[in-house]
Amino acid sequence: MGGSAVMNIDVKGKKVIVAGGSRGIGRAIVLAFAEAGAAVSFCARGAGALEATRADAARFGGQVHAAGCDLSKAVEIDGYIAAAQKALGGIDVLVNNASGFGRGDDENSWALSLDVDVMAVVRASNAAMAALLASGDASIINIASGSGLGPSVRTPAYGAAKAATIHYTRTQAAAHAHEGIRANCVCPGSIFFEGGTWDVAKRDNPALYNATLASCPAGRMGTPEEVANLVVFLASPAASWITAQVISVNGGQGLRR
C-alpha cells in the first residue's frame, strides 16, 4: 500500500452493494461502479426504476444484481444483504445511500428519518460485516448530506438523522480500522436531477429553488455523477489511507463572495 505515485482508481472485480440505488445519486453510483468494472448489487422499493437501472448497468457487461427491499424494515435488509452476498460471491464495498427524506418536525418525519437514514445504515452494515471482514480490503461509504453538518431549520428530522450518520461513520472507522475496513461519509450539497427534490422545488417552490441556487457560487447545483465519482474513488486503492473522513460534494455551496 502507498508505494506508487500513480493514482490507481481501479475497482475492477470489486463486489459492491448499493443500498438505495434506483434513482438520483444512488442510480449514478450504481452506474459508475458498473462502468468501472465492479460487480454491483443494489436495491430499491420501486420495481420500475429498479429494472430500468439494472438494465442500464448491465449494458457495461459486468455482473449486476437488483432486488426489491424496503430499507425501513430490518428483516428485508437482512434478506437483501444475504441475497446480494450470494449473488456477488462476497462483499468488498457497502454504500449506504437510502433516505426517508423526513422533512418536517413531526413524529412521522422523525420516525422515517431514524428508520431509513440511521437504522438502515446500522442494519445493512451489521448484516454485511462478516463478508466485509472476509474481504481483506473493504470499504463502507455512507451518504449523508450537507444538512447534517449544521442547523437544518427547514428539515430538522432529516438534518439530525444525517448528523447521526456522520457520527456513526467515524465510529465505524475507529472500530474496524484494525480489521482492514475503511469507513467514510460523503455529504452532497444541493444536487439536481429530473424528478428529484430540486426539480420539484423549481416547479412548485421557485422562491426556495432560486434562493438555494443563489447559494451555489458556480451558478449551478451539482449532479449525481459528481457525487458518484467521489464514491468510486473512496472505494478504490487510490483511497487506501483514507478513513473516518466526512467529505462534502457541494461546489463551495454557502461560501460568501
Q: Express each pLDDT in 61-114 by its tens digit.
A: 999 999 999 999 999 999 999 999 999 999 999 999 999 988 899 999 999 999
**Is the residue at 5 inside a domain?**
no
Please give the pLDDT value at position 3.
53
Please give the pLDDT value at position 7.
72
**Is the residue at 188 inside a domain?**
yes
Q: How many domains does the chain have?
A: 1
**Is the residue at 2 inside a domain?**
no
**Is the residue at 152 inside a domain?**
yes
Place of cell 424528478: 195
Q: What is the CATH number of the domain that holds 55?
A: 3.40.50.720
- Residue 185 lies in domain: 15-193+223-249
Please give the pLDDT value at position 201.
96
**Is the residue at 204 inside a domain?**
no
The predicted model scores a pTM of: 0.96
Q: Is 252 left (phi over 0), alpha (psi -120 to 50) or beta?
A: left
Please give the pLDDT value at position 4.
52
CA distance 22 to 115: 19
**Is the residue at 68 inside a domain?**
yes
pLDDT less than 50: residues of the chain? 1-2
Find how far residue 44's CA is from the centre of its chain. 13
Task: Give the 3-state DSSP-derived string for the chain, with helices as H, strands as E and coil as C.
Answer: CCCCCCCCCCCCCCEEEEECCCCHHHHHHHHHHHHCCCEEEEEECCHHHHHHHHHHHHCCCCCEEEEECCCCCHHHHHHHHHHHHHHHCCCCEEEECCCCCCCCCCHHHHHHHHHHHHHHHHHHHHHHHHHHHHHCCEEEEEECCHHHCCCCCCCHHHHHHHHHHHHHHHHHHHHHHHHCEEEEEEEECCECCCCCHHHHHHHHCHHHHHHHHHCCCCCCCECHHHHHHHHHHHHCHHHCCCCCCEEEECCCCCCCC
Which residues does the annotation mark as catalytic? 158
**Is the residue at 208 inside a domain?**
no
